[in-house]
Structure 1
């Protein structure tokens, strides 16, 4: 059995939803399509498709294979293009992972421009607030917010974001503004449990001396938007990255606190599996994002 041909036929059956339509698309016979799918199932010793007289449906194994088969076929096409042409046109499906808030606020507005520039790329964006396994879960690229890269992955720094301690004006009017990190002990704070230490806030003064405070928290959340909403409602003091609260600070809905102290910045990174030959679709995406965030990032601009 030609396994690459079998993957191509199986992926086309899944895309077309029919053995007959797949045969038409591949300019072959339905019997040949059926034979390849049957041989693939026999080779793998698992059923890939549930068949009825009216419709086809993927089994769990079929769903997993369909996703990987599509990625394999894209890689083969790009490999052939590398061998046959010095100038590769980026094409195929590009699976991108990013955190929910950052992806919604700062990546979503960029996608129309990227697709207009690269019309042969099919963009598949998945927003989740966890560290995904790029290779195991079939992603080509991830945008991560981190203070460090990864030894297993290639990382390119796109921008930085400041972490800022702040509160709403009505909270400050009621409770006053802390002047030193130690003053936080007498305030209501909202902890971001997505950080390693939600209750321990680490700051440095102008002499770079560290100050660590275990703050009293009236609320915790692992979602930055929820922490932000609580602060806007006057519930307490927070720290969050400027990519999330930059607009609130510019509009005065949140007020920065603790002048003379600051938290460590975090990096916005593009990460992808280490490969000897970087695929064209990943390369153009990384270059595009680096261009979009060059200079002062949009969340730290005055307007």
Structure 2
């Protein structure tokens, strides 16, 4: 059983992608590079576990660290997602937060060659020894129900990424607010 035997290792592939609504892109255009994100309305997620800047990587290992003065600073992914869905800006959110909106076309990917570094899906426990029955049952349930779903979501986004890679390049709009 992966969860119980490998704590505190990363259990699932996960990362964040840059997303916004099609309406936002229609009104403001799409940035052509990470640096152009500063000219757009960004929706930042900040809480004690998430740093305020966006750390982005691409497939050839380039790294961009961006700091914004966005319109909205949210402490939950759901709030940032809601504002993005309403056309309020561009956000960087985990796959498991945006998957339904992506599947239904309510969010589009911005700068598809860029994403966050991998983030972990962890179970944090004070000790691997002497786990009580409730904790063991919860870990087993997570292993059976949550981990496969996160892995499936990651596979969906990897397949989607492949379509971005094979699609002919299109000119990006450079409209801004």
Task: Give the shorter-chain TM-score range.
Answer: 0.7 to 0.9
Is the 8 Å Cα contact of residues 188 and 218 (structure 1) preserved in structure 2?
A: yes
Higher RCO (CA < 8 A, seq sep 6+): 2
Q: For structure 2, which runs of at least 5 residues remain unmatched after alignment? A: 1-6, 157-177
The Cα shift of 1:225 comes to 1.0
If each structure's strand is expressed as a fraction of its own residues, which one has the higher value?
1
Answer with 167-176 or 207-216: which moved more: 207-216
1:197 aligns with 2:45: no
Q: Over residues 232-285 of structure 1, what are the superposed CA-to-partner deviations in whole Å (9 max), with x where a residue is unaligned? A: 110110011111111111111010111221211222212222153233332232
Count of residues in Structure 1 that have an aligned counterpart in Structure 2: 148
Is the 8 Å Cα contact of residues 158 and 289 (structure 1) preserved in structure 2?
A: no
User: Based on CA coordinates, which of the two structures has the bigger radius of gyration?
Assistant: 1
Candidates 118, 126, 134, aligned match of 1:265: 118
- Provide TM-score, normalisation by structure 2: 0.74
SS in 1 for 2:96: helix
**Structure 2 vs 1, CA of residues 173 and 155 (structure 1 numbering), >3 Å: closer, same or farther?**
same
CA RMSD in angstroms comes to: 2.1
Counterpart mapping for 1:1-303 below 5 A: 155=8, 157-194=10-47, 196-198=50-52, 200-274=53-127, 276-292=129-145, 293-294=147-148, 297-300=151-154, 302=156
**Structure 2 vs 1, CA of residues 285 and 181 (structure 1 numbering), >3 Å: closer, same or farther?**
same
* Partner Cα separation in structure 2 for residue 295 and residue 172 of structure 1: 30
Q: Over residues 65-86 of structure 1, what are the superposed CA-to-partner deviations in whole Å (9 max), with x where a residue is unaligned? A: xxxxxxxxxxxxxxxxxxxxxx
